[in-house]
Amino acid sequence: MWYYIEKCMADSGAWQRVNTQIPIRSPRYAVFDLAEGKQYKFRVLSANMYGASEPSEPTGPIETQELKGVPSAPGQVISTRETNTSVLIQWAPPKEPNNLIGYYIDQCVKGSKDWTSANHKPHKNTKFVVSGLTTGETYVFRVQAINELGLSDESQESAPLTVKAALTPPSAPYDIAMLNCDGHSMVLNWKKPRHSGGANIKEYYVDKRRSGTTMWREVHIPPVTERLYKVEGLTEGAVYQFQVYAANLAGLGGASKCSVDFRCEAWTMPEPGPAYDLTFSEVRDNSLVVEWKKPVYAGSGPITGYHVEYAKKGTSDWTTANETAVSHRFLKVTSLEADTSYEFRVRAVNATGVGVASMASDPVTAKAVEGSQEVSCVVDEKSGDIVLSFESCQLNEGSQFIWKKDYKEITDFSRGVIKTEGSHSKLIFKNAEKEDFGTYSVSVTNTEGVSSSYTISAEELAKLLALSYDIRHPIIPLKSELAYKILERGRMRFWLQAEEISSNVTYKFFANNKELSGADPNKMGHDVSSGVIEFIMDHFTEENEGTFTCQITDGGGKAQSSLVLIGDAFKAALAEADYQRREYIRVKEGPHFSEFLSLQVGDDCSVSLVCKVANLKKESAFHWYKEDTEIIPDVKPDLGSGVCKLPIKLFSLKTAGVYKATISDDRGKDMSQIDISGKVFDDAINKISQLAGASASELVIKCTATGIQLQCHMKYYTSEMNITWCHGETKLSHSDKMIIGGTPAMATMEVIEPMEKDKGMYSIVITDRENSHKRTLDLSGEVYEKAFAEFQKLKAEAYAEKNRGKVVGGLPDVVTIMEKKTLSLTCTVCGDPKPQVSWLKNGADVEPDDQYVVSLDQGKFASLTIKGVSMEDSGRYTMIVQNKYGGESVDIVVSVYRHGEKIPEAKPTLTPKVMIPPKLPIEIPQPKTQPSPSSAPSTQSPSTPSPAPPKAGRGVKSPTPTRRK
């Protein structure tokens, strides 16, 4: 006994057979392909060999769930600082919420990829405060949406954000000074705010007023970024006052204290004006380094030097630190009292005398930062680099190491590199020269003045360079230079002996500057106890005449030895090697290779391995191998001729590797090996490029449904060949727009979705080591128009084929049914736009009535139901599915038999689907949105719209998903 299931819409009464093809043996069956959100009724029929029973009572209406899938990913995530342990996260809701339940927020320390959840229950809103974060740490965030079906994809990650307290405006600048005046303008300078507000100060605003007035006026738009500003448009003889504001990302800070009265009178004194911007570094208990900027007003002549003065805080007893003026703008002041605060000022000097003193600096206490260290200078024992190294005792967020030479910042360190890891920074001289002596200093920003310096004198630098050279160029002493010895079978042993080598020694052997391989059958080795290093060449030939060299590296030490074998010396060695080889073969009387494996490229670009064997007998066996895996060739080796060939089909990097050939019988075995890589591979590709380039045909056009393809037929093509495509003078590279490739018979370049800008001259250049071969085609004018029209035609045909009406499945070729039963022919159809479905019986239209019920549910489930079939209902039924892009028809043969008769044997006929051409012309839908001004020209074909994403699977409603781990 078996069962049949029937279904119908709850309000239609049109019953359809669910399992038309496969009888059901179990009283349980899963029904698929139901419409979402619709009500259905079901009933069951049982059947045996005599026929089917009456249907059961139908079920009550059963409604399917309307589930559209998980939500789409949330939009952009933005993070904002709140406190020093929390961050506010905001994001855009998903475009497809699909019964959204809430969101999960993930956090991760930047660079770690260790994501953790910030909430353990779905959060309803699109804002969330992430708490419990580490102050000073940098985080990224992402969000996922969730509904009953599960989690969406992750949103894009937020920009990295460092956790610290919210920004505040900076404090006020102070100590406004006048650096120059010409009677119509003044140059002002001021000190930056003591508190930056947690962000870099970006701008300054300067106000002025006449002395004795109350109205302040801004003197510049836009704001200035430096602390040096020339106020112009002033009245000569007038007295002015100034105030300055500073601003950062958080906003505008408070105004500075009003400056003293500045009279607008031109400076005419011959001495220089004041220096400005005094800064301090390398503060120690008894010394410090002061730096400054040169005066704006130089006086009657160039500035020749500077004097630095200092006084204890709160006194006016100024002491000159340097009796002799210094020409540079820095000075190390010594002999200070520990834990004592000092103020400093600088006077410039020219030929007429000492100039005006700068504004006094802020007080500086002569006290070293706790834990401060000094710069050290060493020569690295392994690399020989001269290294200045400094470790900071403090390091805060945003701290940077600033290296200077003679207190000028190093911005282009061509001699080496600066490396910083954590609190440690190094200035590394990779290529130091004798001019690199001087004072090198380093300071660490965002600290309490951490800094240090190191002075390299000319004498010390000479010693460092000498030590560096010795480390970089150590020599391994040799007991004996490179020599040779001829071994059995004519093999050549090249060897030398070092005084001492370690187990880590490495070495290379070269013949005429070409490195020799130690792979079988050659051998390479060494003996640590004796210091002997050797290379055994399996086959010594005329091609080996020249210079042999061995290069040794052991730790930092190196050695090299060469042996010249040319002329009479080479002929003697070759003759002895040939004699030993012939003697070995004569004595052994075994099969052997008379010519070892070589790679040959034919005139047709075919590539083959070739060798010769000798001294064979009937039982001798020849085998080919690649990477120790045997190759069974299409044609067996011709041992009778002694020449063996192995064609390498479709030669490319995929076929590269180590190939071997063996010849053996009961007398012995011989082997030959070749490594098809490196120069061997490159030489073969070069030869192929020569032959293929010479055979290259002129460029031809082949249009496709995606673009215009240019083809260049040649004897052989592989991507390893040196081939360049150009548009005009511009080299083309493979991309989504330009598809570069080919087949073994031609090289191709396809312009995807061609536009006006793609017109022009195209060329292909096939290059080998000696020559290049160029072929061109002018893709413009009538040539372009014809090609573009053909592309449009093919594109439209492809679009029509994709979207025409089709029968997906479900219809049998032959149906056998008992009289008075209900026949349901059901299948799934598709097409865009939704196709129309019609039915024929024996070539005539089927007219729907009470017996013949025709339906098309949701535009994709087509059916013909015949109630109470009779013998007259036998025949050929045809279903036609069609839209404006064409369609197809399918035939079904229906055979009706009477009750009690033997069920006739179904004889399926393989009737092919008949295609229905599209209505002409084929129209491809235009994009819904208008192109922007920067979009492609109007001549470009519109892109075929992507099909709608499939709906989620139907089934029983699932419980609320849990958070994934």
Using only the alpha carbons of the chain, give its radius of gyration.
45
pLDDT over threshold 60, residue 944: no
Chain position carrying tokens 């589930």? 67
pLDDT over threshold 60, residue 703: yes
Of the candidate CATH numbers 3.40.720.10, 1.10.3720.10, 2.60.40.10, 3.30.565.10, the domain formed by 2-64 belongs to: 2.60.40.10
pLDDT score for 699: 94
Sign of the C-alpha dihedral computed for residues 730, 735, 737 and 743 taken in this order:
positive
Q: Cis ω on the peptide bond leading into residue 55 (within 30° of 0)?
A: no
d(CA 342, CA 317): 11
Each residue's pLDDT tens digit, 517-547? 888 788 999 999 999 999 999 889 888 999 9
Each residue's pLDDT tens digit, 281-339? 999 999 999 999 999 999 999 999 999 999 999 999 999 999 999 999 999 999 999 99
Instruction: List, in sequence order, every residue forming a beta bridge with 622; answer none if it has no partner.
Output: 663
Our separate counts of H helices and E strands in the chain read 4, 70
pLDDT score for 304: 95
Q: How many CB atoms lie within 10 A of CB 32?
A: 8
pLDDT score for 951: 35
Eight-state DSSP code of residue 213? -
CATH topology of domain 478-583: Immunoglobulin-like (2.60.40)
pLDDT score for 65: 67
d(CA 632, CA 807): 47
Residue 441 · residue 282 · CB < 8 Å:
yes
- Pick from 229, 254, 258: nearest CA to 243: 258
pLDDT over threshold 50, residue 941: no
Domain 804-897 falls under CATH 2.60.40.10? yes
| Residue 188, SS3 per DSSP | strand
Residue 839 · residue 823 · CB < 8 Å:
no
**Pairing between strand 376-379 and 401-405?**
unpaired
Instruction: List, in sequence order, every residue forming a beta bridge with 312; answer none if it has no partner.
Output: 342
d(CA 445, CA 425): 13
Contacts of 794 (CB under 8 A, 6+ apart): 703, 704, 705
- Dihedrals phi, psi of 543, to nearest 5 degrees: -70, -10
DSSP string for 48-78: ETTEE-PPPPPPPPEEPP----SPPPP--EE
CATH topology of domain 376-472: Immunoglobulin-like (2.60.40)
Residue 742 · residue 776 · CB < 8 Å:
no
Q: Indicate the helix (H) or strand (E) that contains 793.
A: helix 781-803
The four Cα atoms 114, 120, 121, 125 give a dihedral, to 10 degrees, of -50
**pLDDT tier for residue 929 given thresholds of 50, 70 and 90:** very low
Eight-state DSSP code of residue 24? B
pLDDT over threshold 70, residue 69: yes
Each residue's pLDDT tens digit, 142-160? 999 998 888 899 999 988 8
d(CA 617, CA 952): 72
Each residue's pLDDT tens digit, 570-622? 999 999 998 888 767 655 667 888 888 999 999 999 999 999 998 888 889 99
Mean pLDDT for 207-232 is 92
pLDDT score for 956: 31
Show the tokens assigned to 278. 């005094």
**pLDDT tier for residue 5 given thresholds of 50, 70 and 90:** confident
| Residue 455, SS3 per DSSP | strand
**pLDDT tier for residue 66 given thresholds of 50, 70 and 90:** low
| Residue 247, SS3 per DSSP | strand
Type of residue found at 285: D
Show the tokens assigned to 410. 């190093």
Each residue's pLDDT tens digit, 251-272? 899 999 999 999 999 999 999 9
pLDDT over threshold 60, residue 953: no
pLDDT score for 34: 80
Domain 592-676 falls under CATH 3.30.390.50? no
pLDDT score for 578: 87
**pLDDT tier for residue 933 given thresholds of 50, 70 and 90:** very low
pLDDT score for 939: 35
CATH no. for 683-802: 2.60.40.10
Type of residue found at 9: M
Each residue's pLDDT tens digit, 802-812? 999 899 887 88
Mean pLDDT for 432-459 is 92
Sign of the C-alpha dihedral computed for residues 65, 70, 76 and 80 taken in this order:
positive
CATH topology of domain 74-163: Immunoglobulin-like (2.60.40)
pLDDT score for 965: 32
d(CA 718, CA 380): 48
Q: How far is CA 132 from CA 137, 163, 169, 629, in A?
A: 12, 10, 26, 60
- Dihedrals phi, psi of 688, to nearest 5 degrees: -60, -40
pLDDT over threshold 70, residue 397: no
pLDDT over threshold 70, residue 732: yes
Each residue's pLDDT tens digit, 446-473? 888 899 999 999 999 999 999 988 888 7
pLDDT score for 570: 94
d(CA 521, CA 515): 16
**Pairing between strand 814-818 and 886-897?**
parallel
Each residue's pLDDT tens digit, 612-661? 998 888 889 999 999 989 999 988 888 888 899 999 999 999 999 999 99
| Residue 798, SS3 per DSSP | helix
d(CA 22, CA 7): 16
Q: What is the mean pLDDT of the chain?
A: 88
d(CA 139, CA 176): 41
Mapping DSSP onto H, E and C, the string for 296-360 reads CCCCCCCCCEEEEEEEECCCCCCEECCCCCECCCEEEECCCCCCCEEEEEEEEEECCEEEEECCC
> Above pLDDT 70, what percent of the chain?
94
Mean pLDDT for 844-855 is 90
d(CA 444, CA 398): 10
Contacts of 4 (CB under 8 A, 6+ apart): 17, 18, 19, 23, 24, 44, 45, 46, 47, 52
Residue 897 · residue 846 · CB < 8 Å:
no
Domain 269-368 superfamily per CATH: Immunoglobulins (2.60.40.10)
Mapping DSSP onto H, E and C, the string for 604-622 reads CCCEEEEEEEECCCCCCEE
Each residue's pLDDT tens digit, 887-915? 999 999 999 998 888 887 766 555 567 88
pLDDT score for 489: 83
* CA count, 13 A, side-chain hemisphere, 460: 12
Each residue's pLDDT tens digit, 172-202? 999 999 999 999 999 999 999 988 887 789 9
pLDDT score for 67: 63
Sheet containing strand 772-779, strands side by side: 730-731, 722-727, 760-767, 772-779
d(CA 445, CA 528): 53
CATH no. for 167-266: 2.60.40.10
d(CA 770, CA 766): 11
Instruction: List, in sequence order, every residue forming a beta bridge with 651; answer none if it has no partner.
Output: none
- Residue extent(s) of CATH 2.60.40.10 domains in the chain: 2-64, 74-163, 167-266, 269-368, 376-472, 478-583, 592-676, 683-802, 804-897
